[in-house]
Amino acid sequence: MLKTPLCDLLGIEKPVFQGGMAWIADASLASAVSEAGGLGIIAAMNADANWLRDQIHELRARTDKPFGVNVMLMSPFADEVARVVIDERVPVVVTGAGNPTKYMKAWNEAGIKVIPVVASVALARLVARRGATAVVAEGTESGGHIGETSTMALVPQVVDAVDIPVVAAGGIADGRGVAAAFMLGAAGVQVGTRFLVADECTVSEQYKEMVLKANDTSTRATGRSTGHPVRALKSPFTNAYAKNEAAGASSEELGAMGTGALRKAAKDGNYEEGSFLCGQIAGMVSERQSAREIVDDLVDGAERVLKGASAWVA
Ligand SMILES: Cc1cc2nc3c(=O)[nH]c(=O)nc-3n(C[C@H](O)[C@H](O)[C@H](O)COP(=O)(O)O)c2cc1C
């Protein structure tokens, strides 16, 4: 059985987080992952307090296992969402897209386990000093908002820099990836892209088909000129966006272009206008499965790889 100190810390059976995914990771997916023994995470994205409260209640109607809420720090509703997670006694908060320190004191005082996503050693150190329970070190292979450093390079440097558990994210979609993350010193993994095709994932059919058909070169990062790069499947939207970016469009113009594009992909399956956020590992995601099958495959696969690893040592 694969168990790490992170499991005891969070009261979960398997060291697998389902990453918060804007417009996608709702109560349906998150409750299924938590029921399977991992940590399901509802993405608060740009939604308001009422939407989040409803999702938390829906999740709790489906499972009594621990779960998390992903607070998107760039959201215009971040302040009210930060309050809801306290009022609703959410056990774990994972923050994305920025520096969460302004909320951490209140969350820590409320007994919430705070696990920021970091793309650099500097931010990992800062949040560790402010009382983070763990950090998610997320490499540039990931879908969604990304940093510059790859998972392979980032995870061991973060592990060396902080005394709290490190969860590896970015480019992990099977047991080999999980085992590799553990070898780098991680105590858990966060997976996004593979869960896009989970049976319980409510994303559009068009989105799932695009992920299933993707190969190793199907994604591209855009938005570096804005300071907020994003990785998505290549599509008419990313082509148009990249063209405008290369032509010197301002951050405001590019921001306006992106408005509504995630919803169009996730909810409407609009191939022409949608932004289909997705990680580089999509080429390895070729099967629709239940959340439980995905969690089990990740963990069982890692056990097999880890048991076999010593065969190379004389
Ligand atoms: C479609 C999609 C949407 C995402 N949205 C968010 C988000 O709202 N907040 C966040 O912190 N991370 C977000 N992420 C990142 C994931 O939580 C996770 O860290 C990442 O997907 C892990 O890398 P992988 O895609 O290679 O599995 C998103 C990822 C994807 C694929």
The tens digit of pLDDT for each residue in 30-74 reads 999 999 999 999 999 989 999 999 999 999 999 999 999 999 998
SS3 74: coil
List the single range of 20-24, 42-46, 150-154, 309-313 with lowest mean pLDDT. 309-313
Residue nearest to atom 16 of ligand 1 (CA): 19
CB distance 75 to ligand 1 below 6 Å = no
Contacts of 264 (CB under 8 A, 6+ apart): 270, 273, 274, 275
- Predicted local confidence at residue 313, as pLDDT: 80
CB distance 81 to ligand 1 below 6 Å = no
Ligand 1 centroid to 89 CA: how many Å?
A: 24
Q: Which of 118, 223, 105, 97 is nearest to 162 (CA)?
A: 118
CB distance 20 to ligand 1 below 6 Å = yes
Q: Strand 230-233 vs strand 40-43: parallel, antiparallel, or unpaired?
A: unpaired
The percent helix, strand, coil of the chain (3-state, each to 5) is 45, 15, 35
Residues pairing with 112 in the sheet? none
Q: Which of 85, 153, 80 is nearest to 115 (CA)?
A: 85
**In the predicted model, is pLDDT for residue 311 greater than 90?**
no
- Predicted local confidence at residue 97, as pLDDT: 77
Residues pairing with 95 in the sheet? 71, 116
Residues pairing with 40 in the sheet? 67
Q: Which of 284, 314, 287 is nearest to 176 (CA)?
A: 284
Residue nearest to atom 6 of ligand 1 (CA): 21
pLDDT band at 94 (very low <50, low <70, confident <90, very high): very high
Handedness of CA 178, 303, 184, 44 (dihedral sign): positive
* Residues 105-130: tens digit of each pLDDT: 999 999 999 999 999 999 999 999 99
Mean pLDDT over residues 207-234, rounded?
A: 96
Q: Which atom of ligand 1 approaches the CA of 266 most closely?
A: 1
Q: What is the DSSP letter of 230?
A: E
Ligand 1 centroid to 192 CA: how many Å?
A: 5
The rounded distance, in Å, linking the Cα atoms of 249 and 241 is 9
pLDDT band at 164 (very low <50, low <70, confident <90, very high): very high
The rounded distance, in Å, linking the Cα atoms of 153 and 21 is 24
Pseudo-torsion of CA 286, 287, 292, 298, nearest 10°?
-30
Q: How far is CA 84 from CA 28, 43, 45, 129, 240, in A?
A: 19, 13, 14, 24, 37
CATH domain 11-198+292-308 topology? TIM Barrel (3.20.20)
Tokens of 92: 């774990």
* Residues 239-288: tens digit of each pLDDT: 999 999 999 999 899 988 888 999 999 999 999 999 999 999 999 999 99
- Predicted local confidence at residue 98, as pLDDT: 82
CB 276 within 8 A of CB 285: no
Q: What is the DSSP letter of 164?
A: S
Residue nearest to atom 2 of ligand 1 (CA): 21
Q: Strand 144-145 vs strand 230-233: parallel, antiparallel, or unpaired?
A: antiparallel
Q: Which atom of ligand 1 approaches the CA of 44 most closely?
A: 8
Spell out the domain ranges in the chain. 11-198+292-308, 219-277
